[in-house]
């Protein structure tokens, strides 16, 4: 059964990746907005932002990476909605394949596409002067945390992909996710914010994720931030996965 699930998922993953390769504008569009934010904040607002010593692009990049993922997973919801609307899920279910492999193929496609987008954003940041003192272990830790975040937000994206009434509605769910880094430590230190906003910023998941990545990039100890970041990601992932699988079963019932 497990071998069948893996082979079915691999076959459907190949199908989804071919669709992405035929529409490279998906990855380009996903990368353009975060890069535009990075250019805007570094070259327009950077001189007025007091984010501490060092280059502002170094401070900014972790938040931009989170925005890149939040922007990218909207395409998972969009592609999933299109597959549901076209009736292809029903045709897949008439074939002798593992039912959940359809969802897993979409999720893994999102992971691959977002990894490419993240690499593009990091490359642009390097051209803008970003430098990191991270060693191999720190870079692996950053990659692992970004992968976990992508996985988490992708399963969250499955829910609107299955339940939305329109393609625009399916992809619009990502707007709050893209906005969330702006009320965190992604762009400025939380100590500069007024009381209620600061309290929210310091206790929402993006701040712990961004602070962990920033510390790893700088080669500093991550402290308790990494455990908070992992707890948020794993907790949301479990809830999103359970709800997504329940919604998928209802759709096919």
Tens of pLDDT along 77-108?
Answer: 888 887 777 666 666 666 556 667 778 888 88
**CA pair distance 153, 113, nearest whole angstrom:** 13
Q: Which distant-in-sequence residues (6+ apart) come within 8 Å of 101 by Cβ?
A: 5, 8, 9, 12
Number of domains in the chain: 1
Phi, psi dihedral angles at 221 (to 5 degrees): -60, 140
Distance CA 178, CA 71 (A): 7
The answer, yes or no, to whether residue 155 has pLDDT greater than 80, is yes
Residue 110 predicted with pLDDT over 90: no
Strands (E), the chain: none
Cα–Cα dist 162/78, whole Å: 10
Q: Could you tell me the residue range of the domain that residue 197 belongs to?
A: 2-252
* pLDDT tens figures, 31-43: 788 899 899 888 8
Structure tokens at 244: 């997504």
**Token output for 80:** 């999933």
Q: What is the pTM of this model?
A: 0.89
């Amino acid at each position: 059964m497990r071998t069948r699930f893996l082979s079915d998922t691999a076959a459907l993953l190949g199908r989804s990746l071919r669709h992405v390769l035929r529409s490279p504008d998906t990855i380009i569009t996903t990368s353009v907005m975060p890069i535009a934010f990075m250019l805007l904040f570094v070259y327009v607002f950077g001189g007025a932002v007091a984010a501490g010593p060092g280059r502002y692009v170094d401070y900014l990049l972790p938040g931009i990476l989170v925005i890149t993922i939040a922007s990218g997973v909207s395409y998972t919801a969009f592609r999933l909605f299109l597959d549901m609307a076209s009736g292809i899920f029903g045709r897949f279910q008439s074939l002798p394949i593992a039912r959940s492999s359809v969802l897993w193929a979409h999720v893994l496609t999102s992971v691959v596409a977002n990894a490419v987008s993240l690499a593009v954003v990091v490359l642009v940041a390097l051209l803008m002067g970003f430098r990191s003192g991270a060693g191999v272990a720190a870079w692996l830790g950053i990659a692992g945390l970004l992968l976990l975040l992508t996985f988490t937000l992708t399963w969250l994206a499955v829910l609107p992909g299955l339940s939305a009434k329109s393609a625009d509605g399916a992809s619009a769910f990502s707007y709050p996710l893209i906005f969330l880094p702006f009320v965190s430590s992604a762009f400025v230190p939380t100590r500069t914010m007024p009381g209620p906003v600061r309290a929210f910023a310091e206790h929402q998941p993006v701040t712990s994720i961004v602070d962990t990545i920033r510390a790893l990039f700088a080669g500093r100890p991550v402290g308790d931030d990494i455990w908070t970041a992992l707890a948020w990601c794993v907790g949301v992932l479990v809830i999103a996965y359970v709800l997504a699988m329940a919604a998928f079963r209802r759709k096919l019932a």
